[in-house]
Amino acid sequence: MYRCLIAVRLALVAGIAGLGLTGSSVVSSQPHVLKLYVVPLRDQETDASGRPLHDFTATPAQFTQLVAEVNWVYEGTGIQFSFDPATAWQPLADTDMNSDRTLFQRGNEIAAQHLGMIVCFLRWGPNPSSRTGNGNAYPPLDAGPVPPAVDGVSQNYVALPDFFGANYSGLNQGNGSFAAHEFGHYLGLYHTFPGWTDRQGPVYASIPGASTPSRTQADQAAIDFIAANGRTVSALDGDALDDTAPDPSPVLYQAHSQNVCSSREITVQGRIEGVQVTFTLMPDPNNVMSYFAACPAGSVPALSRFTFQQMERMRGTLQKPSRNHLLQPAAQPICSQLRDQIGALEAQRAALSEAMKGAPPQVKGDIGRRISALLLQINALRQELRAHGCP
């Protein structure tokens, strides 16, 4: 049944693409294709049988299928993703990164070595007894205005879980929408609700504990946030984009025991300075950057979507200095620089080879060692050329 649904969807996409339209936006016949470089992490320490204590279970084939699912989510945005399992799947044994302890620092360092690609780390997470199911990425600081409920973070990679679980869990949460959400952050998008998280975020963190709050608690927390941020429901517009609806996050629906798919409109009641007030909200559960599971609910998750302004923000972010290395024109200088370095080393190697012909025996050994060292450098630079996807 699932394959049939895919076939129907692809047929519809092909028909729409033939018109040059999808949704409300005109799509480019030549989208930006962004290359992914995947680093599955494992522990350096091993058990008695020699296996890493915490190891990834995702495979290149599974990740290839995930990229196809992500690309369905990004249909019509002018952005697609590519992944070459032969060259862009590079496991790394690093316990501290795998447990998130040094992922931020080392992650940015490794990302800087692979310009022209989005570096993705698949990691176990901080809890030794169970894998993490979450991911994280952040909009670059030059992407555009930062909404008031978040702070700027300079993170130039995407962190993801290291497994594909049953019933669309782990990397395949939301049938590709979860990974699409994290790539959306990397390309300049914020949540549709305020903050980096919901229950412990700026709206509901004042409610004690971490469990689902009562309806009264959640309503008053939302109203207090609205009161402190302009006194209109626009306070709950987490990304400050005009075409994404104010979003109180799933926390409010859980507190109301209300299913957003069957009853999208929700009303909060409480007080501002002693005066009784009500506000009505209608968030979009199918937006990629929300925390809702897309509607309609089913055994195969529905795909989420982006709004026109979200698409514009991502395409605009690709032109910024922090992300324009992903585009071929911006990546080309890196390729040229590597080729220039290889050319210079090849010239040195040729000169040494010529010098070796008439050198006395005692000098030939030294020249040979220098040539061998140059060949190692040349091969390393050629690997970098392949990693950057240089033609």
Condensed to tens digits (0 to 9), the pLDDT of residues 313-333 reads: 999 999 999 999 999 654 456
pTM score, whole prediction: 0.78
Read off the pLDDT band of 345 (50, 70, 90). Answer: confident
Q: What pLDDT does residue 36 have? A: 97
Residue by residue, DSSP assigns 249-283 as HHHHHHHHT--TTT---EEEEEEETTEEEEEEE--
Percent of residues, the chain, with pLDDT higher than 90:
72
Of the listed ranges 23-27, 98-102, 120-124, 329-333, the least confidently predicted one is: 23-27
Higher pLDDT, 192 or 333: 192
Tokens (6 digits) for 277: 């007030």
Phi, psi of 235 (to 5 degrees): -60, -25
Percent of residues, the chain, with pLDDT higher than 70:
90
Mean pLDDT within 238-259: 97
Sign of CA dihedral 229, 233, 235, 241: negative
Cα angle vertex 24, ends 247, 31, to 5°? Answer: 100
| Among 266, 272, 257, residue whose Cα is nearest residue 220 | 272
| Among 159, 179, 156, 40, residue whose Cα is nearest residue 100 | 159
Output DSSP code: residue 246: -
Per-residue pLDDT tens digits for 262-319? 999 999 999 999 999 999 999 999 999 999 999 998 888 998 999 999 999 999 999 9
| Among 208, 175, 203, residue whose Cα is nearest residue 191 | 203
Which residue's entry shows tokens 């494992």? 42
Question: Quick check: 340 pLDDT over 80?
Answer: no
Helix, strand, or coil here: 279? strand
Helix, strand, or coil here: 201? coil
Neighbours of 278 (CB within 10 A): 10
Mean pLDDT within 197-204: 96
Q: Is the peptide bond before 296 cis (omega within 30 degrees of 0)?
A: yes
Tokens (6 digits) for 310: 């979200």
Mean pLDDT within 11-26: 37
The runs of H, that is alpha helices, within the chain are 2-19, 60-73, 95-98, 103-112, 177-186, 215-228, 249-256, 308-317, 328-357, 361-387
Which residue's entry shows tokens 């909404």? 147
Would you say 374 and 24 are in contact if contact means Cβ atoms under 8 Å apart? no
Q: State the average pLDDT for the chain.
A: 88
Would you say 283 and 256 are in contact if contact means Cβ atoms under 8 Å apart? no
Q: What pLDDT does residue 191 have? A: 98
Q: What pLDDT does residue 128 have? A: 96
Neighbours of 220 (CB within 10 A): 20
